[in-house]
Structure 1
Amino acid sequence: MIRKMIVGLSLSAATIASGALAMEPGEDGSGDDIIVTGRVAKLYRVEETASGKMPTEPLASSQAITVLTADLIADQGARDAQDLYRNISGVSFFSYAGVTARGFRQQENFYDGLRGDPYIGFAVPQLFNIERVEFLKGPAGMLYGQSAPGGLFNYVTKKPSQTFSASARMVAGTGDRYGAQAEVTGPVNDVVSLRGGAFFEDRDLPRTFAGNRSLLLDAGATFDLGIARLTTQAWRIEQDLAANRLRGIAVDADGHFLANRRWNHNEPSDFLDLRSTALQAKLEIEPTDNLKLDIAGRRIDASEKQKYHEPITLLDKNGDGRFDAVARQYRDQYRGTKSWSFGGNAVWSAAISDGVSNRVLAGFDYSTEDATSTASQLTGRATAAMGLPCPLDFANPVYRACDPARYAMPAATTTLSETRRNGFYLLNELTLGRLVAVAGIRTDSFEDVAIAANGTRTGFKGRDETYRLGLVWRVRDDVSLFGQYATSFEPQSAAAQDPRAGGPFAPTTGDMMEGGVKTALLGGRLQSSLSVYRIKRQNLLQADPRGDPEGDGINNSVAFGEVTSKGVDVDIAADLTDNWVLTLTYAYNDTRVTKSTTPANGNITNVVAGGRFANAPRNKLGFWTRYQIPAAGLAFALGGDYVSKRISLSNQPVNPYFIFDGSITWARGPWDVRLRVDNILDKTYAASGFNDRGGHFPGEPRSAFVEVGYRF
């Protein structure tokens, strides 16, 4: 029902009471790749990033990067990743954990700089144990290997601290929402510090019968060994989603829903359950003042079970030319993933002379993933039939008319996949007065194997190189011009490498040219970034117009396509007064097919007729503003999210929307209370489009919650 909750608990309470507490890099025990420093009155400002895995002041970096601080996440009451997209120019919701980034669909997430996501399948990352969220815009292949060219998410987790803090919170809201969370961190002695946290929430979702019961346990220990520091962590995630997996709601030719926005295609007994365990360790060593080393590893063991009804065919039961029902398919599915991920970096820096310095980064990463998928499905008819899924009306849905326990399900089939990735990279940064020049290269090896239910193995292995060149000119201390060229690659899926279908195929590649200006004006109170970019994505896999020239019964594919994305991103974080802050993001994007095997451009993934990309808005605007009255302990906040017209995968219009959220917070001593209202005007809208039978994903109706917190 309501999706937003508070994270960063102790930071949130301190922020409300006195602005933002000063925090220097490393004080929170993290010391991770991208470091954010908040200061009094500069609530959402980013003082330092390590976007290239080296700590860098934003004005000295040639990369465009958005960092969402703990203060911003807490103030917005963000519960999961979907709550944050308004704060990132060029990023909008696509489906589940997937987004559209600078025109391209992006679905992969990194945690603490390592590949591997504990939220597999159709789960959305939760934010309870997240300290900050980073989004690196454009191709990030030189540092992170295989990735989409639109950008890359990196979630930085909370670490143990030598400073004691503890907090507890309770929440209650509309939709029978209730929950509680608690976390504590602090020193055992001068060497050891610990962290523990627990989060539980149960709530109804807006769709009929749908619900979300989530449990997240988080623990960690840090050992300060002098020149070395070791941090170990463990997470346990359990998520039970009732009447899921959720698709959208069918729409008419004008993009309007054919059913109430609470309509659900699932039966009450349907579900999606996630179980995930992650173990992580990181060793940091600083043998000298100018040399820093780190090595990290993570193990993830996750599974997702789901039984649900999939909309399969739209029906016009009364023959009036308007769809009024849907035939359904019942799916019984299991996904299991076991993965390992490792990475290491060495950063060497030297001051050569006055105004001249150099830094060198050398690193590696290695990851494996073994996945199992078991599935069985049964398709129903346009009319009810014994032992088959029955159709469901839009206007007057009758649930429990058919019993999944009586379905004559066919035998399940199991497929396996094995993925191996390893990469080595080298980057040099040279500073000459007000000029900063960056050059980097990476080489990757990859191997993918798909094992079909009949035991047939289809595999492919290969290598690729990616590059990054950047230049920054510090026009003044508070103004800089930047430009960069960067590349990316994505291996084709192992299933697509079948020689009978024309495989094997070389990876899809991407490259970007970007330039812009960054500022920190008015003594740093106004921080802004404007970027103009052009991204080309090449060698996309699409259907061969010749069909099956060999006559082997399998239609061929061809890697030929090219897509060009052009756009402008604007990001502003401003302290309008000591008590009034504002963040504003705007993006313009035009993504088009520039080469294809067919004039219709309809064979490239996520592209529909005319070469337009699904769920890629031309214009996107987001803002968040907060005004506090310290003497009264009050803070008032208002946010807005505008997304322009888009199209779905079936070329149906996805209408524009503009929604508003707000909150009122009161804090006194260790207590704070927040009232949050989402979709204040209760607007009915589609958050994104899917396909004709799956419909558009409806945005959530108006909802509210109250959260009470106490700091010990």
Structure 2
Amino acid sequence: MLPDQAGGRFRLKGIVRLTGLGIMFATVAPVAVAQSTGEAQDPVELNALEVTGSVLKVGVPLAETPQPASLVSREELDDRNVQSLDESFRYRSGVVSGHYGADNDTDWFKVRGFDQATYQDGLRIYREGYYQWLPETFGLDRVEVLKGPASILYGEAPTGGIINAVSKRPSGEVSGIIEVQTGNREHRQLNVDTTGPLTDSASYRLVAVYKDREGDLDHTENERYYLAPSIAIDLTEQTRLTVLSSLQKDDGVPVNAFKLPYGTVDDTPYGKVDRSTNLGQPGYDKNERTQVAIGYELEHAFNNQWSFQQNLRYNRLDLELRSTYASYQDAVDPRTVVQGVVFREGTTDGLTVDNRVTGRFFTEHTENTVLAGLDYQNLSADGDQYDDFLAFGSVDMFDPVYGNYTPVTEAQLLESDTTKEQVGAYLQNQLRIDDRWVILASARHDWAETEAQTGADTEKADDSQWSLSGGVMYLADNGLSTYVSYSESFQPLLATETDGDLYKPLEGKQLEAGVKYAPTWLDGYVSAAVFELTEENSLVQEGQQTVQKGEKENRGFELEGNAYLTDDWQLTLAYTYTDAENKDDEVLNQLPLIPRHMASFWTDYNLSGWVPGLTVGGGLRYNGESVGHSSSGANKVEVDSYTVTDLMARYDFSQNWRAQVNVNNLTDEEYVASCDYYCYYGESRSVIGSLSYRW
């Protein structure tokens, strides 16, 4: 609640007006200051501002900050031919992905055992309920993860952390790529990426993709068109404006991987349900999604100490989704599964803006970096919806014949209208003493207002929250840095309980200690950390219902390394141990979906000394045992561990031409990736070959 002087409620509309004035001031102020300083101000290069979109919001090396963050570069995305965002962190610690199988209409992550928020270029992507905004991976420069509570920099956020997808940006040098791909499951793809100067002070970039592929389930597919033009303009020697835009259209039949424990982890008299079996209604199911975004990044350097950045984006998502899934086993015929259905037809609109000022101050013994910011988020989701998990249709799990269902009618639809506004002010100071100590202290205050209307029912909630964060790191001469840190998060939820009341905000807290090693003699890093992460007001699954109660507590250890051992040999390794405890689930003490042990290993080697132009690589991904609920929800099921192998071979047969083959799950291992109330098969073998021309 936001009290005014009379003790009543201060509405967010007033805050929005104040924020708008602040944004106007922040936009005009750089020009005014630059003009007022006149000729006395030295020209300032903008290279120091190229950290825009960084998950840490300031230009400090990851190895020299007491915060748990890592990234995947464009080079690695290309090496592994990453097709969806949730494939990015397969070879990083602390991130679970692919636990729901190969979904073609959603990206799924769990960071340190909890949900995460997805950002693009430092601004929130609204992925609420079934309205899922999907970044196209070919349009990205890199992907970053900030592990654990991150409200100090990003406001309301899930306990797990932040995934930040950073878009490709214009370059002043001419370069480009044209690439064609083909593969199994009727994969066809065309990629185009070109950039270069327009004038002495402006440059452009144009990224385009056409992609078509069948899903991992029978009778599923997705076709995508993607176009992302951008332009960067140096307005002055101190001021740069980058305009980013994108249009993406997906049209397909969704992969709905829901299967029951009966027939997946549990044996039956009829054998196992085939992993490719579609237990929906493919003739009825559809997923049509169009997403449009336009925004800009304004960067201005007042002088060698102070700089200002403003990021703004408007995005719109239009969705028509009909998705049928296996709900529960028929009580009379054990071969038959009763189906549920999700129906959504509507739009989401989002406006996000982040203003921040960075100052750097130096003395003989100290370096001080101050970050102050004001941000604003506005989301509205408006449409029709219908949910039925009891009796939409039915199908034989072992020999499906489709068509036994009753389509959703207009009379069954409920109108839904949800809005969320958030204003946040934050202040962070990072003090570096004698190149030995780094001390980080941060504070933030957020005001959030949520209103959810479903049919004739309306629920409102106002939340006001302080978030604190801090850390201390010691930098040794040998490149070994030790640290301890603390962080907090809160997340108002747009969803409602079965009685129509809004859920309470989730609250997260994390305590961490670790080491980061980046020696001067090695082109790479190694990091290790132990953490304790708790979440209050948690959502838990009880049968087919999601309820809010109790507390979750995750403790873990992470080890991660990435280095060039020689000029030709690169190695990436990761290990994660997570003790994910649900204190209020009498059946499952261990959180479902989350294995206690995960490990991965990737290496590639340039064989040009023997075969000019040839590079080969490969990796292993191991997920240990996890748990889930039985079909009745009253007992625990155990999910076996699994290991899959990935391979890559790349051949540069001239200065400009490249051929590449990527194989994921080389042996076509059939495995259950995870279970909660449902169970999910992991992705089958994927083979993609590509031919590209680069300049």
**TM-score normalized with structure 2 length:** 0.85
In structure 2, the residue matched to 1:581 is 570
Contact 1:458 1:494 in 2 (8 A): no
Does 2:105 correspond to 1:79? Answer: no
Deviation string 1:169-202 (CA, Å, 9 cap, x unpaired) is 0011112211211111110111111111110011
Q: Distance in 1 between matches of 2:260 and 2:191?
A: 37
| Matching residue within 655, 667, 671 for 1:681 | 667
User: CA deviation digits over 1:28-52, x for unaligned, max 9?
Assistant: 9954243xxxxxxxxxxxxxxxx53
Tell me what 2:531 maps to: 533
Equivalent residue in structure 1 for 2:438, among 425, 436, 439: 436
In the TM superposition, residue 413 of structure 1 has moved relative to its aligned partner by 1.0
Change in Cα spacing, 1:324 to 1:477, as seen in structure 2 (3 Å) is same
Is 1:216 the counterpart of 2:226? The answer is: yes
Distance in 2 of aligned mates of 1:152 and 1:711: 33
Q: Deviations over 1:637-691 (max 9, x none)?
A: 1012111111235543322110011011100210000011121111001223242
Q: 1:380 to 1:349 in 2, by over 3 A?
A: closer
Check whether the contact 1:249–1:261 (CA below 8 A) recurs between aligned residues: no
Q: 2:280 aligns with which of 266, 270, 274?
A: 266
- 2:136 matches 1:132: no
Q: Would you say 1:252 and 2:232 are equivalent positions? A: no
Change in 2 beyond 3 A, CA 1:255/1:614: same
Deviation at 1:159, TM superposition (A): 0.8
* Residue pair 1:316, 1:324 contacting (<8 A) in 2 also: no
Q: Are 2:683 and 1:700 aligned?
A: yes
Q: Report if the CA contact (8 A) 1:625-1:637 is conserved.
A: yes
- Give, in whole Å, the separation in 2 of the partners of 1:587 and 1:26: 38
One-letter identity of the residue aligned with 2:625: K
Instruction: Give the match's secondary structure for 1:648.
Output: strand
1:657 counterpart letter in structure 2: Y
Tell me how far 1:477 sits from its aligned partner. 4.4
Q: Residue 683 of structure 1: SS of its match in structure 2?
A: coil
Aligned to 1:386: none
Aligned ranges for residues 634-653 of structure 1 at < 5 Å? 634-648=614-628, 650=633, 651-653=636-638
Confirm or deny: 8 A CA contact 2:96 2:113 kept in the other structure. Answer: no
Secondary structure of the corresponding residue to residue 588 of structure 2: helix
1:141-175 deviation line (CA, Å, top 9, x unaligned)? 11111112222101111111111111100011112
Q: Aligned in 2, Cα 1:556/1:334: closer, same or farther, shift over 3 Å?
A: closer
Q: Is the 8 A contact 1:118 1:276 kept in 2?
A: no
Calculate the TM-score normalised by the size of structure 1: 0.83
Deviation at 1:310, TM superposition (A): 2.5
Q: Distance in 2 between matches of 1:138 and 1:343?
A: 21
CA distance in 2, matches of 1:116, 1:365: 14
Which secondary structure does the structure 2 equivalent of 1:143 belong to? helix
Deviations 1:680-704 (A, max 9, x none): 111001223242xxx3222222231
Shift of 1:256: 5.0
Q: How far off is 1:521 after superposition? A: 2.9
| Matching residue of 2:425 | 424
**Mapped contact 1:254–1:653 kept (Cα < 8 A):** no
The alignment yields a C-alpha RMSD, in angstroms, of 2.7
Given that residues 131 and 348 in structure 2 are in contact (C-alpha distance below 8 angstroms), is that contact kept between their aligned partners in structure 1?
no
1:541, CA displacement in angstroms?
6.4
Partner of 2:17: none
Change beyond 3 A, Cα 1:103–1:329? closer
CA distance in 2, matches of 1:372, 1:27: 42
Change (3 A) 1:522 1:358: closer
In structure 2, stretches of 5+ residues that fail to align are: 1-44, 101-105
Q: How does 1:271-282 map to 2 (within 5 A)?
A: 271-282=286-297
1:273 partner letter: E
1:197-596 correspondence runs (5 A) = 197-225=207-235, 226-242=237-253, 244-252=254-262, 255-256=265-266, 258-269=272-283, 270-315=285-330, 323-353=334-364, 355-376=365-386, 390-399=393-402, 401-402=403-404, 410-433=411-434, 434-454=436-456, 456-493=457-494, 495=496, 507-521=505-519, 523-540=521-538, 561-594=550-583
Deviation at 1:61, TM superposition (A): 0.5
Do residues 611 (structure 1) and 589 (structure 2) align?
yes
Contact 2:473–2:484, Cα closer than 8 Å, also in 1: yes
Tell me the SS of whatever aligns to 1:73: helix
Q: Which is further off, 338-347 or 248-257?
A: 248-257
* Displacement after TM superposition at 1:324 (Å): 1.8
- The change in CA–CA distance for 1:88 and 1:197 in structure 2 (over 3 A counts) is same
Letter in 2 for 1:451: Q
Cα distance change on mapping 1:349 and 1:205 into 2, 3 Å = same
CA distance in 2, matches of 1:214, 1:352: 54
Letter in 1 for 2:666: I
Instruction: Give, as a single letter, the amino acid of the residue that structure 1 aligns with 2:379.
Output: E
User: 2:49 touches 2:59 (CA, 8 Å); kept in 1?
Assistant: no
Matched letter for residue 518 of structure 1: K
Q: Distance in 1 between matches of 2:136 and 2:264?
A: 34
Cα pair distance change 1:459/1:256, threshold 3 Å: same
Q: State whether residues 260 and 328 of structure 2, in contact with CA within 8 Å, keep that contact through their aligned partners in structure 1.
A: no
In the alignment, residue 656 of structure 2 is paired with which amino acid? Answer: P
User: CA separation in 1, counterparts of 2:343 and 2:578?
Assistant: 39
Residue-by-residue CA offset, 1:355-398 (whole Å, 9 max, x unaligned)? 312111101110000102312456786xxxxxxx5421122112
Residue 327 to residue 59, structure 1, CA distance change in 2 (3 Å): closer
Could you tell which deviates more after superposition, 371-380 or 280-289? 371-380
Amino acid at match of 2:650: T
- The CA deviation string for residues 281-310 of structure 1, in whole angstroms up to 9 with x for no partner, is 110001101111101110011022112322
What is the CA–CA distance in structure 1 between the aligned matches of 2:343 and 2:431, rounded to whole Å?
56
Counterpart of 2:199 in 1: which secondary structure? Answer: coil
Q: Secondary structure at the match of 2:400?
A: coil
Q: What do residues 304-336 of structure 1 show as CA deviations (whole Å, max 9, x unaligned)?
A: 211232222212655xxxx32212234432142
Which of 133, 140, 145 is equivalent to 2:155? 145
The CA distance in 2 between the partners of 1:568 and 1:266, in whole Å, is 39
1:61 maps to 65
**Per-residue deviation at 1:261?**
0.7
- Which residue pairs with 1:671 in the alignment? 657
Equivalent residue, structure 2, for 1:116: 125
Give deviations 1:85-136, integer Å, cap 9, x for gaps: 3222111124442322112233x20111111248962564330111100000
Question: Residue 222 of structure 1: SS of its match in structure 2?
Answer: strand
SS at match of 2:594: coil
- 1:43 matched residue in structure 2: none
Q: Deviations over 1:340-360 (max 9, x none)?
A: 00001111011112x312111
Q: Is the 8 A contact 2:288 2:319 kept in 1?
A: yes
What does residue 14 of structure 1 align with? none
Change (3 A) 1:557 1:585: closer
Work out whether residues 378 and 410 of structure 1, in 8 Å CA contact, stay in contact via their aligned partners in 2: no
Does the CA contact (< 8 Å) of 2:216 and 2:255 recur in 1?
no
Structure-2 separation of matches of 1:213 and 1:54: 38
Give the 3 Å change call, closer, same or farther, for CA 515–494 of structure 1 in structure 2: same
